[in-house]
Structure 1
Amino acid sequence: MTIKHIRWVACIGLLAIISLQYVWLVNTYKLTKESIQFRSNEVFRDATMREVFYRMEVYQDSLQKKYKDRDTSIMVRISLDEDYDLFKDDRVDENVNQWLMSNMQVSMQEIVKRDYKLSVSLSSLDSIYRTGLAAEGLDAEVITCVTDSLGNILRSSRSIQVGDYGLLKTGLQPINYKRTENLQAFIVNPYWIIFQQMTLLLIATVLMMAMIVYCLVYQIRIIAHQNKIARMREDFSYAMIHEMKTPLACILMGTRMLKSGKLDIYPDKREKHFQILEDESEHLLSLTNKVLTLSKLENAQLRLWKEEVQLRPMLEDLIEKYTAKADKPVHFSLRLESEWVYADEEFLKEAIGNLVDNSIKYSGEEVEIQISSLRQDHNFYLIKVRDNGMGIPLKDQSRIFEKYERASAADRSRKGGASGFGLGLNYVFRVAEAHGGKVCVESIEGEYSEFLLFLPSEERV
C-alpha cells in the first residue's frame, strides 16, 4: 500500500471517529439539557410554593404592625376539589405525595389571592427561583411570568420577547383551579449552562481528538520515513553494487591474467597490472572506510585531531591527484587569502577532495575549478570550491547533503550518469559538523556550483 493510500485510509478513519464523537456529544448534550430541564422544573415548583409563603409572611407582618396587641397568626384551610380537571388528566403522576403537593400549591395560590388580596410577586419569584437554581449548581439569569392556559404571556418580571432569546421553559404551574392563570419561568441562554455542565467532557473530547490526530500523523510520518529509508536502501544497494562492480571485475581479471603467467615475459605489463590491482583495491578500501567513518561521525564516536593546517601544500597535492586521475581536461586556480586553517588535516583533505571529485563528475568536457580561502572576522575560516559544471536544481539543494542522496543517484547510474552512492557530500557535511562549522551551497543550474565550507577558528573552539 502506497503512502497516498495510507493517508486516504487514515483520513477516512479520522472522519469516522469524528462522526462517532459528534453523535456522542449530541446525545450527551440532549441528556444534559433534559437533566437541566427536569431539575429546573423541580426547583421552580418549590420556588412557587416559597413565594406563596413569602406573601403570607408579608401579610402577617403588616397585620402585626397594625394590630400590635392581637394574635395575627394566619390559618389556611385547604380543600381538594375532586372535580378539578387536573385530577382527571391521564398525564398526572400517580404518586400520591406529588398529587397532594400540586393541589396544595394551587389551593394556597387561590386562597392568598382571594382572601388576602395578594397577587404573585414576580420579582420575588425571580429571586427565589434563581437562588434555588444556584443551590443546584445552575447559575443562570431567569425571567418569570404569568401565562394563560395557552401559554400566552399576560405579565412578566421584565420585558421579554421569546424570539429574541435562547430560552429554556419550565412547565406551567397553575395558580387557580380553572388554569386560566399559570406561572412559568424562562432560563435565559441555557446553552452556556449546558456547556458548563459538559466542560470536563468537552475538554476530554478535545484532548482525545488531538491525541488521535497526533498519533495518526505520527504513524503516517513513520510509515513515510520507513518507505523513504527502504527506497534509499534500494538505491544505495544498486549504486553500491554498480560502484564496486568495476573494481572487482578489474581485480578478478588482473588476478587471472597474472596467475596465467602470460605476463611473465613482459615485466612492464606485469607491473602495470599490479598497479591496477593496487589502485582498485585502494578504491574499494576507501569506499569501505568512508561508510565506517560516516557512521562514527553520526554517532560522535570519531575524535578529530585539530591543529593549524597549511592549506597550499594540501591543495596542491589534491590538484596533482585529480588532474592525473581525471579523464577530461581540468584547470585549477588557487586564491588563498588565508594560508592556514584550524582543523583535522586528514578529514579536511578528504572533504575537499570529495568536493573536487563532484566538480569533475558533474561538469562538461572541460572543467574549471577555483579554490579560495579567507578568514571572516577572526571567527571562521571559509574555504570555497567553485566549478563551471551543470549546477544543482533549486529543488535538490536542500537535500543534497543527506546520506545516500545524490538527487536520484541510482537513476543516474542506470542511465549511464556519474557513478557513486551519495556519500561524498554527506561526508563533507559530517566533517564540517564535527569541526563545529557548516557547509552550504550556491548554485545556478547550467552555470556553476559553489560550496562554502565554514570552519571555526581556534579561538571559538
Structure 2
Amino acid sequence: MQTKLDSVQLKTLALQFVIGDSTGQIKDSYPGHHGKLPSSPEYHEPLGFISGDTLYATYNYPAILFIQVAIWPIILTIIISALFIICIVNFYRTIRNEKKSGEYRKSFIDNLVHDLKRPVGNQIKACYLLPTLPPDEQESFLEDNRKQLNEMLQSINRMLLQSTDAHGLQLNVKEFNLKETLEALKQKDRWNTQNKQFDIDVDFRSDNPIITGDYHFLFAVFQNLVDNALKYSGDQVKIQITCTDQDAQHVLIQIEDNGFGIPLKNLKHVFERYNRGDHQGNKKIKGHGLGLHYARIVIRAHGGKIDIQSEEGKGTTLFVTLPRKAKIKNKYKQ
C-alpha cells in the first residue's frame, strides 16, 4: 500500500480494510460496514488455513484528487495538441497558397510569352512585306503594327512590375517631368480596348512639373492604374487624372473612373497579391491580381503611399502621393 501511495505521490488517501470468510461473507471491515467484498483489491492476504479468512485492502481515490494530480498534464496535453493542429492547418494553407501562386505564375508567364511573341513575329514579317505593299496599304499596315507594339509595351511594363518581387526593387532615380508623363496617358492609341468609348482627361494643377524618381517604374504604375480603370468599366468610360501640390514636398495624383466600383468586402484586399475580388474567375477580363500589389511596392519604394476609395456601381478613385525629392535607398524590399 505504501508503494502505491508513493507511486501517485498522494499523502491523503482513505484506506479501507475488509475481512472475509471462505463463503465470501464479510466478518469485519474498517472503516464502517461494507456490503460486499471489493472486486479488485489492491492487496489481499490469507489470514489462516483453517478458518479461510482473507484480508482485503484497498483505498478510495476521489475524483478531486485525480484532478489535482492530473490537471497540469491535461492542460499541457491540450496546449500541445492545439499547437500541433495549428501547425498542420498552417502547413496545409502554405501548400495550398504555394500551389495557387505557382498556377498564377505559370498563367502569367504563358500570357506574357503570348503577348510578346505575336507582335515581335509580326514586326519581323513587316520588315519583309512593307517594301512590297502599295502605298495606300502601307499606312493601314503600319497602324496595325503600331497597335501591336503598344500591346507589347504594356506587357513589358507588366513584366517590369513583376520583377520587383524577386530580389528587391532597384531604382534608377532621376528628375523627370511628371506633367508630360501623365499627359502621355491621354493618347488613345496607347490603349487597346474592344468596343469601348473612353475619354481620359488630365488636370495638372501644380506649378512645378519636375519630381525625382524612377520614370520607368512610375510610368508602368500609372499605366497599370489607367488600364485597370478601362478594364473594370462599362462601354462608356470616363477617367479623370488630377495632380495637385499636397504640400511643398509632395504631389498628389488622383485617378478617378466611372467603372464598376469595388464592393466593401473586397476593398481592403485590393493591394494583396493575386487578389481580383469578384473577378477572380472572369476570363473575359484579363489580369492576375498583381498590378495593384506591385504598384504599392513601387510607390512605397519612392517614399510615397497609395490609397483607394470606391463604391460599388459608382466608380473608383486612387490617390497616389509622391515626394518631390525623396532620399531613396538603392534597393527596396517588401
Shared fold (TM-score, shorter chain, > 0.5): yes
Give the structure 2 partner of residue 360 of structure 1.
230
Asked if structure 2 preserves the Cα contact closer than 8 Å seen for 1:238 and 1:410, the reply is no
Matches within 5 A, 1:426-441: 426-441=293-308
- 1:138 paired to 2:9: yes
SS in 2 for 1:446: coil
Give the structure 2 partner of residue 392 of structure 1.
262
Asked if structure 2 preserves the Cα contact closer than 8 Å seen for 1:232 and 1:404, the reply is yes
Larger radius of gyration: 1
Shift of 1:337: 6.6
SS in 2 for 1:141: coil
Give the Cα–Cα distance (whole angstroms) in 2 for the partners of residues 145 and 410 of structure 1: 73
Shift of 1:253: 6.0
1:248-294 CA deviation, whole Å, 9 max, x = no partner? 575366445325x132xx2x643564465355335425523541453
Asked if structure 2 preserves the Cα contact closer than 8 Å seen for 1:239 and 1:420, the reply is no
Give the structure 2 partner of residue 288 of structure 1.
156
Provide closer, same or farther for how the CA distance between residues 306 and 387 of structure 1 changes in structure 2, counting only shifts above 3 A. same
Shift of 1:152: 8.5
Give the Cα–Cα distance (whole angstroms) in 1 for the partners of residues 296 and 237 of structure 2: 24
Shift of 1:215: 5.2
Give the Cα–Cα distance (whole angstroms) in 2 for the partners of residues 227 and 379 of structure 1: 44
Give the Cα–Cα distance (whole angstroms) in 1 for the partners of residues 198 and 75 of structure 2: 72
SS in 1 for 2:260: coil
Give the structure 2 partner of residue 257 of structure 1.
129
Give the structure 1 partner of residue 197 of structure 2.
328
Matches within 5 A, 1:137-286: 138-144=9-15, 147-149=18-20, 156=31, 170-171=42-43, 184=57, 186-189=59-62, 192=65, 207=80, 209=81, 213-214=85-86, 216-233=88-105, 235-236=107-108, 239-240=111-112, 243-244=115-116, 247=119, 250-251=122-123, 254-255=126-127, 257-258=129-130, 261-263=132-134, 266=135, 269-270=137-138, 273-274=141-142, 276-277=144-145, 280-281=148-149, 283-286=151-154
Give the Cα–Cα distance (whole angstroms) in 1 for the partners of residues 83 and 301 of structure 2: 37
Give the Cα–Cα distance (whole angstroms) in 2 for the partners of residues 255 and 398 of structure 1: 49
1:321-347 CA deviation, whole Å, 9 max, x = no partner? 247757624042527478566543432
Matches within 5 A, 1:405-420: 406=276, 412-413=282-283, 417-419=284-286
Equivalent of residue 319 in structure 2, options 437, 440, 452? 452
Asked if structure 1 preserves the Cα contact closer than 8 Å seen for 2:306 and 2:320, the reply is yes
Give the Cα–Cα distance (whole angstroms) in 1 for the partners of residues 278 and 124 of structure 2: 30
SS in 2 for 1:281: helix
Give the Cα–Cα distance (whole angstroms) in 1 for the partners of residues 58 and 273 of structure 2: 73
Provide closer, same or farther for how the CA distance between residues 391 and 199 of structure 1 changes in structure 2, counting only shifts above 3 A. closer
SS in 1 for 2:173: coil
Asked if structure 1 preserves the Cα contact closer than 8 Å seen for 2:256 and 2:315, the reply is yes
Give the Cα–Cα distance (whole angstroms) in 1 for the partners of residues 140 and 149 of structure 2: 14
Give the structure 2 partner of residue 371 of structure 1.
241
Give the Cα–Cα distance (whole angstroms) in 2 for the partners of residues 324 and 197 of structure 1: 74
SS in 1 for 2:170: coil
Provide closer, same or farther for how the CA distance between residues 311 and 146 of structure 1 changes in structure 2, counting only shifts above 3 A. same
Asked if structure 2 preserves the Cα contact closer than 8 Å seen for 1:146 and 1:181, the reply is no
Matched to 1:388, the amino acid is N
Provide closer, same or farther for how the CA distance between residues 332 and 253 of structure 1 changes in structure 2, counting only shifts above 3 A. same
Give the Cα–Cα distance (whole angstroms) in 1 for the partners of residues 241 and 26 of structure 2: 94
- 1:348 paired to 2:198: no
1:398-425 CA deviation, whole Å, 9 max, x = no partner? 5544556555879644xxx444555543
SS in 1 for 2:182: helix
Q: How many residues align?
A: 315
Q: Which runs of 5+ in 2 are unaligned?
A: 329-334
SS in 1 for 2:10: coil
TM-score of the superposition, structure 1-length normalised? 0.52
TM-score of the superposition, structure 2-length normalised? 0.67
Structure with more of its chain in helix, by fraction: 1
Shift of 1:394: 4.4
Matches within 5 A, 1:292-331: 292-305=160-173, 311-319=178-186, 321-322=187-188, 325=191, 328-331=197-200
Point out which structure has higher relative CO (alpha carbons under 8 A, 6+ apart). 2
Give the Cα–Cα distance (whole angstroms) in 1 for the partners of residues 28 and 243 of structure 2: 92
1:18-69 CA deviation, whole Å, 9 max, x = no partner? xxxxxxxxxxxxxxxxxxxxxx3x648xxxxxxxxxxxxxxxxxxxxxxxxx
Provide closer, same or farther for how the CA distance between residues 377 and 251 of structure 1 changes in structure 2, counting only shifts above 3 A. closer
Instruction: Supply the RMSD in Å over aligned alpha carbons.
Output: 4.8
Asked if structure 1 preserves the Cα contact closer than 8 Å seen for 2:171 and 2:214, the reply is no
